[in-house]
Structure 1
Amino acid sequence: MARTARALTTDVCAFLFAVGFSVLSADAVLRGRDLSDGWLLVDQATGAVACLSVFLRRRWPVILALVLLVAGTRSHFVTGATLVALFTVATHRPPRTTAWVAAVVLAPLPFFLVQRPDPADPRTSSALVFFALVAGAIGWGLFVRSRRQLIASLRDRAERAAVEGRRQAREDIAREMHDVLAHRLSLLSVHAGALEFNPGAPPAEVQRAAGVIRDSAHQALEDLREIIDVLRADGDAVGQPQPVLTDLERLARESRTAGMRVALRQNVADPAAAPPLAGRTAYRVVQEGLTNARKHAPDEPVTVTVSGGPGDGLTVEIHNPAPGAAPEQAVPGAGMGLIGLRERTGLAGGRLEHTLTREDFRLTAWLPWPASA
């Protein structure tokens, strides 16, 4: 309904322009011509019909323009409607059609100039002004058409960028959920499995495992709540601070509490000075490496080595021997951890490699650390 009202308003404005142009220019064009009252009345009636025909310009722009051009050879009051019709052709029809119509309109111009018309003759100036107006109407129509196409293209690109942004945001959130929850839930699985297969464990060990299960479950719920808050927030969500390089010791301590043998070797002079993006990505790499080791080689020691500095980049290496046999109660996984890590590392400007042999598993990541950071 809004577009119909706008189109009707535009058509009314085009009609008023056609009427106003024909009436206001009539005195200058018809001056000096010996026209009878009857012929003048016919000319005006023709012009009135032509002006009314602009309401049909959207349906038959080319036909209307050609008919008005023919009628304009005998009637001045058709000129305003002719300009509107030519503008419509240039605006709504393909450039090839516009060029063909423009060629028909401007074809008489070379023949007119070859005749060397008298510049003092009013008909000469009227003809030149007419051709100039025709060229202006077609040119303005082409400009409007190009502008509309540009706006439509920009709108389409903006919509596609918004869709791509939403897709990227969903992937980032999914990756974050995997990295965070997989670590917490694997701790739960390890301790729950220990209680299941060792029901006669000393009370102190049972109490310690139950405490780890409770703390891990609570932390998993907190992490999940934080991610849901981000999904619900319209602006920047306020939640827990993102992990940095200095949090690796806490991460290793959590894994040791779960019964893993983790050796953390940090060869970084000032971990707190690491770029936030590199530190956060390094944390997620170590987190995923420990989770994988806990799933697939729960009884093997894990060595985590972090080294580097400004200008050299940050190198993270997680190494653990391959298990002798697959664990009976292996923690299931989605199989997307390393894929997500590779994407995360690539987005941070780094690279990720992993190798699996019969002897060991090695996960290595390199992240940029600019010298000026």
Structure 2
Amino acid sequence: MNRAGPEYRWLLPSAVVAPELPGDRPEGRAPRRTVRDWVVDTCAFLCAALIGVLAADAMNQASDYPEPLQAIDQLVGALACCAVWLRRRWPVPLAAVLVAVTTVAPVASGALLVALFSLAVHRPLKPAVALVGTAAVASAVLQPVVRPDPHTSLLANAITGTVMVLLSTGWGMLVRARRQLVVALRERAVRAEAEAALRAENAQRLAREAIAREMHDVLAHRLTLLSVHAGALEFRPDAPPAEVARAAGVIRDSAHEALQDLRQIIGVLRSPDEGAEDRPQPTLATLDALVAESREAGMKVTLDSRIGDPDGVPAATGRNAYRIAQEALTNARKHAPGAEVTVTVNGRPGDGLTVEVRNPAPVGDVPKVPGSGQGLIGLTERATLAGGRLEHGRTPGGGFEVRAWLPWPS
């Protein structure tokens, strides 16, 4: 039997590793007997004694044996029955000894049958059971020759003994197979529970990451508008009233939109039923509104969309493209204020959808805007999960470029 350790057994196919049973221990070591074990061992002892008594009575009636020989048979039968109590600790040696004893002393036949049954239960088929079982069959054939029964033919005695040996061994093998099946099913159930727990934990982790990414993509755009325009009001207190009013309007609208987006995400977290009344998710068709909103906030944005029908883009692909453009515009607003940003969208079914956002190097000093640096990481994860890819980096002129490719099934 394969003795793979328990920490590695689950990695091997069930057809290769047979489950180890509690009784599969080296010779000389046995588990502590339970109440059930005591009951089973007592029944085994009584069965061995009953078969031994019947065999002794048949031998005594079959021929006139001397009294010393009858006494020796009875003593050997009693010792063989008592040896049954050792079948858990030394199953192989006990069965081997009883095979030899039964050849010359039929009164030990009951103990031999019990020992063969126990051997088949507690040891694998090879090599112990096969060797001892073969010897037991040979003993069943030789026994009528050594101790003949005048009332029964030699062939009948040999066939009867062989059938009894095979039945006892086969019954033990059947019990062992059933126990192995129970152990395997129990291990499989434990493994299934562990795998289910891991899958649930992984699903929760992915859900948390998706929610965190969505919150960042949604709220970062709105809060950046708040930060930029609030900073402008702080550093330019003497700005014209019209510019102050426009900045205040952008702040108000951005705060309102941020609250709406936050309420939408919290509604999804609370209950799926609340998500039915949420605002529709952005798609590629709403990219024009995003660019217009950025222009109203004071950005210089050029949109070059080469998609004939934005509504024909799959909803998931369009939403990912929208979020990528949204985050790229947010980064450009924070790190390159005043620079003209170019958004290019191109693609067709089968070739995929490409989104490029470029901005040149900013002119003058750039105000420090706090950020976590997780936006581009989240965009890369979003594109990868969608089956696409995202690249970003500095351009030769000191600007910045974000380029993403998303699959668009044909």
Is the Cα contact below 8 Å between 2:390 and 2:404 reproduced in 1?
yes
Corresponding residue of 1:165: 203
Q: 1:354 aligns with which of 382, 387, 392?
A: 392
Relative to structure 1, the CA distance from residue 263 to residue 67 in structure 2 (aligned partners, 3 Å threshold; closer, same or farther) is: same
CA distance in 2 between partners of 1:78 and 1:112 (Å): 8
Is the Cα contact below 8 Å between 1:65 and 1:85 reproduced in 2?
yes
Helix, strand or coil at the partner of 1:355: strand
Relative to structure 1, the CA distance from residue 30 to residue 116 in structure 2 (aligned partners, 3 Å threshold; closer, same or farther) is: closer
Is the Cα contact below 8 Å between 2:301 and 2:343 reproduced in 1?
yes
Corresponding residue of 2:134: 110
Relative to structure 1, the CA distance from residue 251 to residue 34 in structure 2 (aligned partners, 3 Å threshold; closer, same or farther) is: same
Q: 1:273 aligns with which of 279, 289, 312?
A: 312
1:282 aligns with 2:312: no
CA distance in 1 between partners of 2:391 and 2:208 (Å): 25
Q: Which amino acid aligns with 1:175?
A: R
**What is the deviation of 1:350?**
1.1
Relative to structure 1, the CA distance from residue 80 to residue 13 in structure 2 (aligned partners, 3 Å threshold; closer, same or farther) is: farther
Q: 1:34 aligns with which of 34, 57, 63?
A: 57
What are the superposed Cα offsets for residues 164-208 of structure 1, whole Å, 9 maximum, x if unpaired?
111111111111111111111100011101111222223332222
**What is the deviation of 1:227?**
2.0
Is the Cα contact below 8 Å between 1:263 and 1:303 reproduced in 2?
yes
1:211 aligns with 2:256: no
1:342 aligns with 2:380: yes
User: Paired residues, what number?
Assistant: 339
Helix, strand or coil at the partner of 2:338: coil
Corresponding residue of 1:224: 262
**What is the deviation of 1:30?**
7.3
Q: 1:188 aligns with which of 222, 226, 229?
A: 226
Corresponding residue of 2:69: none
CA distance in 2 between partners of 1:68 and 1:229 (Å): 72
CA distance in 1 between partners of 2:275 and 2:94 (Å): 63
Is the Cα contact below 8 Å between 1:293 and 1:320 reproduced in 2?
yes
Q: Which amino acid aligns with 2:221?
A: H
Relative to structure 1, the CA distance from residue 85 to residue 364 in structure 2 (aligned partners, 3 Å threshold; closer, same or farther) is: same
Question: Unaligned stretches of 5+ in structure 1?
Answer: 1-10, 54-60, 90-97
Relative to structure 1, the CA distance from residue 188 to residue 85 in structure 2 (aligned partners, 3 Å threshold; closer, same or farther) is: farther
Relative to structure 1, the CA distance from residue 114 to residue 32 in structure 2 (aligned partners, 3 Å threshold; closer, same or farther) is: closer
Corresponding residue of 1:63: 89
Corresponding residue of 2:359: 320
Helix, strand or coil at the partner of 1:107: helix
Relative to structure 1, the CA distance from residue 26 to residue 218 in structure 2 (aligned partners, 3 Å threshold; closer, same or farther) is: farther
**What is the deviation of 1:241?**
2.3
1:137 aligns with 2:175: yes
CA distance in 1 between partners of 2:239 and 2:172 (Å): 97
Relative to structure 1, the CA distance from residue 178 to residue 125 in structure 2 (aligned partners, 3 Å threshold; closer, same or farther) is: same
Relative to structure 1, the CA distance from residue 70 to residue 243 in structure 2 (aligned partners, 3 Å threshold; closer, same or farther) is: same
Q: Which amino acid aligns with 1:315?
A: T
- TM-score normalised by the chain length of structure 1: 0.76
Relative to structure 1, the CA distance from residue 83 to residue 225 in structure 2 (aligned partners, 3 Å threshold; closer, same or farther) is: farther
Q: Which moved more, 1:194-203 or 1:20-29?
A: 20-29
Q: 1:120 aligns with which of 145, 151, 156?
A: 156
CA distance in 2 between partners of 1:234 and 1:16 (Å): 58
Relative to structure 1, the CA distance from residue 139 to residue 187 in structure 2 (aligned partners, 3 Å threshold; closer, same or farther) is: same
CA distance in 2 between partners of 1:235 and 1:62 (Å): 62
Q: Which amino acid aligns with 1:225?
A: R
Q: Which amino acid aligns with 1:63?
A: R
Relative to structure 1, the CA distance from residue 174 to residue 81 in structure 2 (aligned partners, 3 Å threshold; closer, same or farther) is: farther
Is the Cα contact below 8 Å between 2:50 and 2:110 reproduced in 1?
no
**What is the deviation of 1:114?**
3.7
Is the Cα contact below 8 Å between 1:84 and 1:137 reproduced in 2?
no
CA distance in 2 between partners of 1:161 and 1:178 (Å): 25
Percent sequence identity over aligned pairs = 45
Relative to structure 1, the CA distance from residue 81 to residue 105 in structure 2 (aligned partners, 3 Å threshold; closer, same or farther) is: closer
Helix, strand or coil at the partner of 1:34: helix
CA distance in 2 between partners of 1:21 and 1:116 (Å): 21
What are the superposed Cα offsets for residues 200-243 of structure 1, whole Å, 9 maximum, x if unpaired?
22333222221211121122122222222333337884333221
CA distance in 2 between partners of 1:155 and 1:194 (Å): 57
**What is the deviation of 1:86?**
6.6
Corresponding residue of 2:342: 303
Q: CA RMSD in A?
A: 3.9
Relative to structure 1, the CA distance from residue 70 to residue 175 in structure 2 (aligned partners, 3 Å threshold; closer, same or farther) is: same
Is the Cα contact below 8 Å between 2:113 and 2:164 reproduced in 1?
no
CA distance in 1 between partners of 2:135 and 2:119 (Å): 24
Q: 2:194 aligns with which of 156, 168, 192?
A: 156
**What is the deviation of 1:310?**
1.4
Corresponding residue of 2:19: none
Is the Cα contact below 8 Å between 1:352 and 1:365 reproduced in 2?
yes
CA distance in 2 between partners of 1:244 and 1:21 (Å): 77
Relative to structure 1, the CA distance from residue 139 to residue 280 in structure 2 (aligned partners, 3 Å threshold; closer, same or farther) is: same
Relative to structure 1, the CA distance from residue 215 to residue 66 in structure 2 (aligned partners, 3 Å threshold; closer, same or farther) is: farther
Larger Rg over CA atoms = 2
